[in-house]
Amino acid sequence: MTEAEFDRVMAVNVKSIYHSIPVIVPAFKSRGGGSIINIASIGAMRPRPGLVWYNASKAAVANVGISLSLFLIATLNRVPEEPTLKLEKRFASSTLKKPCG
């Protein structure tokens, strides 16, 4: 992967979330809440060969989702109906039992 390709993967998968948060959080505050859906990948939990930086970017997306959930709970005094941590645990336990490939 070239540096330009790396930059593109990180810009699309990670930096896009970074740029959206300053816009989204004030809107959530004014509306009393909202939802963010970030699309990660199984590559975040079960990396596949040859996709090192894609897998890393998706792991960042998954981690950002968890971190943002905790931040938004504190900021908006709102607990999501299905906290990200619970979803991650359920997703990981069901997918890690299945063979890859």
Does 100 map to a domain? no
Query: For residue 83, what is the domain's CATH number?
Result: 3.40.50.720
Whole-angstrom Cα distance, residue 26 to residue 61?
21
Catalytic residue among 13, 54, 57, 59: 54
Q: Which of 10-14, 77-81, 88-92 has the highest mean pLDDT?
A: 10-14
Does 14 map to a domain? yes
Domain encompassing residue 86: 3-95
End-to-end CA distance of the chain: 23
Give the mean model confidence (pLDDT) for residues 46-56.
89
Q: Is the pLDDT of residue 87 over 60?
A: no
52-76 vs 3-10: helix crossing angle, rounded to 10: 30
pLDDT value for 2: 92
Does 101 map to a domain? no
pLDDT value for 34: 78
Does 67 map to a domain? yes
Q: If you ran DSSP here, which 8-state letter would residue 81 be given?
A: S
Residue 54 falls in the annotated catalytic set:
yes
pLDDT value for 24: 86
Does 48 map to a domain? yes
Domain tally for the chain?
A: 1
Does 82 map to a domain? yes
Does 35 map to a domain? yes
Give the mean model confidence (pLDDT) for residues 42-68.
87
Does 75 map to a domain? yes
pLDDT tens per residue across span 17-35: 999 988 888 888 888 777 7
